[in-house]
Amino acid sequence: GESVGLHLPTLSVQEGDNSIINCAYSNSASDYFIWYKQESGKGPQFIIDIRSNMDKRQGQRVTVLLNKTVKHLSLQIAATQPGDSAVYFCAERYSGYALNFGKGTSLLVTP
Amino acid sequence: DADVTQTPRNRITKTGKRIMLECSQTKGHDRMYWYRQDPGLGLQLIYYSFDVKDINKGEISDGYSVSRQAQAKFSLSLESAIPNQTALYFCATSDPTLNTGELFFGEGSRLTVL
């Protein structure tokens, strides 16, 4: 089947810097793209999503960019904080309900 | 209290044993899901249910069964556990009226099959 993948398995950034986590997708029929954050020992938490007919959406300190031409999704975190250290998953929604998750990127924020 | 509660949180069992993982939710959502997470991998859908009378297989349903006892309860069973079912299992809910991709996850149930 079609898959969602991540360019880098780990990312280390300094506190206060901006972080960019990338994701490639291949299912052109997906209608939503979503980012989740998973802290150690917890379930994934929704961060932000973007509809397939949009190219940018902003939240609190986060921005998601969608480039349908190259099937690329990114999550930008501004002024990264220690509490942002976690594994980040991108996911695409297809068939109106099912999510296809990527393998995850581990973000480590150093002082 | 958590909106999506999973029990047990941790379980160690032996090959061939029957195991049930339970999930209950207080969000009032009709849609519930069971996902499996293996180390270094994303989440894979096992089963999903859109209401009490509607249950569907996901991408990795072999070796698993589910029961939707009520709107708030969705349990996952392993009839005869095997070692490669050792994983972290997540229950999730969603509200289709929101029309977003958001799932609400429980804290997970870590299962080890020896």
Per-position DSSP letters for A8-64, written without gaps between them: -SEEEEETTS-EEEEEEE--TT--EEEEEEE-TTS--EEEEEEETT-SEEE-SSEEE
CB interface of A with B, residues 43-82, below 8 Å: 43-46, 49
CB contact under 8 A, B100 and A49: yes
Candidates B90, B37, B45, B38; CA nearest to A93 is B45
Predicted confidence at residue A4, as pLDDT, reads 57
CB interface of B with A, residues 58-97, below 8 Å: 58-59, 90, 92, 94, 96
Which residues of chain A neighbour B41 with C-beta distances below 8 Å?
A: 103-104
Three-state DSSP state, A84: helix
Amino acid (1-letter code) at residue B21: L
Mean pLDDT value of segment A26-52: 91
Query: pLDDT per residue over B42-74, tens digit each?
Result: 899 999 999 999 999 998 999 999 999 999 999
What is the C-alpha to C-alpha distance for residues B51 and A70, in angstroms, rounded to an integer? 37
Residue of A nearest to B95 (CA): A97
Candidates B31, B39, B34; CA nearest to B21 is B34
Residues of chain B with pLDDT > 90, as a percent, come to 86
CB contact under 8 A, A98 and B48: yes
Evaluate whether B29 touches B104 at the Cβ level (below 8 Å).
yes
